[in-house]
Copies of this chain bind each other. A is one copy, B any other.
Amino acid sequence: MPHTSPDALWAAVEPEASRRMLVGAVDAFAERGYHATTTRDIAARAGLSPAALYVHYPSKAALLAQISSTGHEAALALVEAAVARGAGPVERLRLVVADFVAWHATHHRIARVVQYELGALPDDARAHSVALRRRIEGAVEATVADGVRAGVMTAADPRRVARAVLSLGIDVARWYDPAGRDSPAALGALYADLAARMVGAAPAGGTQ
């Protein structure tokens, strides 16, 4: 999942013009921010007139809400899948971080909107996204707490450490540049090692 094409999230959206609007909105919101993006800009990226946006979406905010919702759901699904895949707490943490980081790199445009435009969402849409975020944080916190309980990690405060681990991934969306030298997979592997170190897990080949 974390390594699919950046636009794969919208593959199911029909009709095609509606999907082009979404992709254009993601690009514009990620580049300039929600408030600096005009509906005319989004429509132009989709190759349509300004009014065409309102054929497919009731408002500019509804577009943002759909992007945020879909993005948060994808991130949560990815985290829960990684947790289910791992054998023990340490492997689970490694998998979660590797996938979470790689996703934020591969989908850095969507991730930018997801992470930095929460405040621009209408109240109900924000509540939905915030709830999904809490489940993501909860999954990581539980993994760290499990590891501590099992004696394979050391962390005085699993909640705060989990938040810090997630910060690593979230901030990738801010600086990641696909033209740079970091591949999403390599970045995920590096950050999985860093996270393992943060929780005091035994070294496993790692960063050294």
Contact = CB atoms under 8 A, between A and B. Distances in A.
How many copies altogether?
2
B116 A194 contact: no
Given A167-B168, A194-B198, A200-B208, A120 B36 contact: yes
20 contacts: A33-B119, A35-B35, A35-B36, A116-B116, A154-B208, A156-B208, A157-B207, A160-B187, A161-B194, A161-B207, A163-B175, A164-B168, A164-B190, A167-B167, A167-B175, A194-B198, A197-B197, A197-B200, A200-B207, A200-B208
Contacts of A145: none
Nearest to A175: B163
A100 interface: no
Contact of A190 (B35, B160, B172, B208): B160
Contacts of A120: 33, 36
A66 B182 CA distance: 33
A160 B168 CA distance: 12
A3 to B, nearest CB: 19
